[in-house]
Structure 1
Amino acid sequence: MDNMSDLQKSFVKARLAKLPPDLPFLNESDENSKFGSTAEEDGDSSSTSSASSNATIMPSPSKGLFFKQASTGSSRKDPSKSLSWSEFYSQELFLEEDVDDLHIVHHAYITPPSKSGPLFVTHHGAGSSGLSFAACATEIRKILPDAGILSFDARHHGSTTVQSSSGEAKAPNYKLDTLSRDVVFVVRETQVKMGWQELPDIVLVGHSLGGAVITDVAKNGKLGSKVLAYAVLDVVEGSAMDALQSMDTYLSTRPTKFASLSSAIDWHIRSRTIRNNISARVSVPSLLKEEEDPSDPSRPWVWRTNLAETKPFWEDWFIGLSRKFLEAKGGKLLILAGTDRLDKELLIAQMQGKYSLQVLPSAGHFVQEDQPAKTAGFLVDLFKRNDRGSLVLPPKVGDILAARAMEKGVNQ
């Protein structure tokens, strides 16, 4: 055990030595180039531990709760004002299906790929929504304009609705194989809705719970050879299982109601649950709903997703994740907010070059929200490394000899 500890320390030092110097928190020209910077570093850019791989991280006591407001233009004077999904995606889809005595309307956001561009399919974590990838989606298209992004709300999340066909109340089904099936349905139904003769090349991207889901999809192969690669964001089996022990405590301390959407956005920023103001302003509103008959009229906004109902499924999501991640076909990328999240199996596999690892030490658990530009760069690189269309194979020896013989004959 001591030897592994020394090995891990050496690995961490080697990885961190290759990282670029930390840049000021949310004051990077590339991080919010579309909207402008909204916050500055508070002096501590180290990664906090994932208190949950299901929802949000618990704010570290060592972190400052208030950020310094940077100077912005007149259009950005209110740092708590909601932003519309339409600033990040071109369309929204409502995909209906009847399955298991349920009528489900899957809600998704999409910017279709153009030409032969790839489709990045994103799956959010528990308690979140498809809009957690909104800022990252914009950054992906800045780097790769032909790329498409499909970000959907999982069942009982965001604007996806689930109703019992019989009218009887049913407990939510969050089993891993059920969520994986939903991904395949949404992708296939999107193909029909968009009129694509065949699916574009796909890069699967999953954050937290979503990482477990897209890894399962990649492993079961139900999207076929169109899946070029997959990326898992800030979740590994070992640390996820450990973090589950503190979830009850986290849920008991998290606010249950808010006075307004603005106050909810403000809480996410102040608590450093989300460290990017732009991303918080587009993603947080989709996490809440206004009660029709609120028990507390002064705080009518409540969470859309009851995270306590997901508790029976937590172990099902993450047991065996590392093995599946390493065994599934396709390019593999793991993006973490800190190397402390690596478990032994993944640490050894990374040293053997079985997957690519990127670390964002200045991000919290929501790496794609905290650092959308950097995350997008890693995802585009993953696609480019696995893009079959860009591969130039060397000619066969027989073809070379035949060409030389033909050339010789012409010259004679």
Structure 2
Amino acid sequence: MSDLQKAWAKKKAALSEQEVFNELDEEEEEADYVPELQEGQGQDDDSSSASSASSTGTVVPTPSRNLFARPLGPPRGGGRNLDPIAWTTYFERELFLSSQPDDDGKPQITHHVYLTSPVDKGPLFVMHHGAGSSGLSFAVVGSEIRKKVPTAGILSLDARGHGLTVSPSPLDYSLEILRSDLLSVIKQTQMQMGWKELPPVILVGHSLGGAVVTDLARTYALGSSLLGYTVLDVVEGSAMDALQSMTTYLSTRPTGFATIQAGIDWHIRSRTIRYPVSARTSVPGLLSEVPGSSRPWKWRTDLAATEPFWADWFVGLSKKFLAAKGGKMLVLAGTDRLDTELTIGQMQGKYSLHIFPEAGHFVHEDRPEETAMVLADFYRRNDRSQLILPPKVSELLAQGKRV
């Protein structure tokens, strides 16, 4: 081989080697690239669902799970950030609504509520949380509703014995009292905000709250202002079954936490709330600081004290849900929650049903975007302002038209 051939071969080998390194660099760059997370994937995508009493479960990978996806900016992904998110992120104001004074001149109860007012003739979504929760349970889903219905208002109360509501002692958690509380809150909000008439109302209740809003809808106390009501993850059959294990569940959860962040972390790790942003928003409303122990952050609500009222909440719920006037919707975390009466009613088209099997008991906190979507659609289907009625015969005659 001549010197010229040897030089040419050596140069070619060097070029080939550089091309190999270039290809390796490109492959490494592709391996380091993490695709952007698509809208709605920031929430945990677990196909398992737990009982209505406790939403603990095992993470089950699914083909749709993108384990290495990056969230689309704060606060969707949550990550390991356990700092609380303030209620002002989601609501425009808080109200303290005092009932009529008793014989001693003190208000019988002062309800604390979170409010974002409706715009123009927009609807008012009135939210009632479940036992042990607070009005902040609907903060994230409320903001998602307003993205889909910008004119909508959100009214979310702290029930007696919950959140920042100041309640008399001993506490009466009977369904009749809770229903009366909810109606009073709606009327007092109307007075305090100076609304001449109630906006179109959509009642939304989770667990115990579902029983309360159903009972209120059944009385027709809101008249024509009520467009419909939605119950989140509670039906009579499964609720009564779950109550049998509630005492065991309460005995297994922590009695307190060293910090609020520790409380948030427990809710996420135990799968009680599966979406970190929801946990960072709602858990602070469940705890209050009681100094003097290594775990000073205690539960605001003594759930064990509500035990005498458990059966009262749910007995007859399915029949009342189907019988009450107005549009009705049921959102569940699993088909196993349906009892016979509701299954027959659904087959007869008496209400609309949505199942989110990837959520736990706190379906609206686990999947706020999807829950908001079905609530927004539910409002649009029942919105009477879009109805165009034919003119009356008397009006046609007055206009000189032949009938």
Q: Cα gap change, 1:86/1:401 in structure 2, threshold over 3 Å: closer, same or farther?
A: same
**2:257, 2:343 → 1: CA distance?**
41
* 1:265 partnered with 2:264: yes
Q: Give the C-alpha shift of residue 383 in structure 1.
A: 1.1
TM-score by length of 2: 0.83
Question: Which amino acid is the alignment partner of residue 138 of structure 2?
Answer: F
SS of the residue 2:150 aligns to = coil
Q: Cα gap change, 1:47/1:115 in structure 2, threshold over 3 Å: closer, same or farther?
A: same
Q: Cα gap change, 1:142/1:279 in structure 2, threshold over 3 Å: closer, same or farther?
A: same
Give % identity: 57
Partner of 1:332: 328
1:316 to 312, 315, 318: 312
Partner of 2:31: none
Question: Which amino acid is the alignment partner of residue 344 of structure 1?
Answer: T
Q: Cα gap change, 1:300/1:352 in structure 2, threshold over 3 Å: closer, same or farther?
A: same
Report matched runs for 1:203-352 at 5 Å. Answer: 203-292=202-291, 294=292, 296=293, 298-352=294-348
**1:127, 1:133 → 2: CA distance?**
14
* 1:121 partnered with 2:106: no
**1:380, 1:74 → 2: CA distance?**
24
**2:170, 2:97 → 1: CA distance?**
22
Contact 1:239/1:342 (CA < 8 Å) preserved in 2?
A: yes
Question: Which amino acid is the alignment partner of residue 273 of structure 2?
Answer: I
2:137 to 132, 136, 149: 132
Partner of 1:59: 56
Deviations 1:109-164 (A, max 9, x none): 0000011000000000000000000000001000000000000100010111114x
* 387-396 vs 259-268, which moves further: 387-396
SS of the residue 1:106 aligns to = strand
Partner of 2:167: 162
SS of the residue 1:305 aligns to = coil
Q: Give the C-alpha shift of residue 403 in structure 1.
A: 8.2
**1:259, 1:78 → 2: CA distance?**
17
Contact 1:107/1:152 (CA < 8 Å) preserved in 2?
A: yes
**1:378, 1:132 → 2: CA distance?**
17
Contact 1:275/1:370 (CA < 8 Å) preserved in 2?
A: yes
Partner of 1:89: 91
**2:216, 2:222 → 1: CA distance?**
8
Partner of 1:167: none
Q: Which ranges of structure 1 fall in alignment gaps of 5 or more residues?
A: 1-26, 32-36, 164-169, 408-412
Question: Which amino acid is the alignment partner of residue 188 of structure 1?
Answer: K
1:374 to 370, 376, 393: 370
Q: Which ranges of structure 2 fall in alignment gaps of 5 or more residues?
A: 1-36, 61-65
Q: Cα gap change, 1:402/1:190 in structure 2, threshold over 3 Å: closer, same or farther?
A: closer
**1:46, 1:74 → 2: CA distance?**
26
Contact 1:40/1:69 (CA < 8 Å) preserved in 2?
A: no
**1:277, 1:373 → 2: CA distance?**
14
CA RMSD of aligned residues (A): 2.5
SS of the residue 2:353 aligns to = strand
Deviations 1:159-194 (A, max 9, x none): 11114xxxxxx3210000000000011000000110
Q: Cα gap change, 1:398/1:324 in structure 2, threshold over 3 Å: closer, same or farther?
A: same
**1:224, 1:123 → 2: CA distance?**
19
- Count of residue pairs brought into register by the alignment: 357
**1:99, 1:46 → 2: CA distance?**
48
Partner of 2:157: 152
Q: Give the C-alpha shift of residue 74 in structure 1.
A: 8.1
SS of the residue 2:360 aligns to = coil
SS of the residue 1:161 aligns to = coil
Q: Give the C-alpha shift of residue 210 in structure 1.
A: 0.1
Partner of 2:12: none
**2:307, 2:94 → 1: CA distance?**
30
Q: Cα gap change, 1:378/1:78 in structure 2, threshold over 3 Å: closer, same or farther?
A: same
Partner of 2:199: 200
SS of the residue 1:364 aligns to = coil
Larger radius of gyration: 2
Q: Cα gap change, 1:405/1:145 in structure 2, threshold over 3 Å: closer, same or farther?
A: closer
Contact 1:40/1:70 (CA < 8 Å) preserved in 2?
A: no
**2:219, 2:44 → 1: CA distance?**
43
Deviations 1:297-319 (A, max 9, x none): x2110000000000000000000
Question: Which amino acid is the alignment partner of residue 117 of structure 1?
Answer: G
**1:162, 1:366 → 2: CA distance?**
25
Q: Cα gap change, 1:370/1:77 in structure 2, threshold over 3 Å: closer, same or farther?
A: closer
Q: Give the C-alpha shift of residue 98 in structure 1.
A: 3.7
SS of the residue 2:305 aligns to = helix
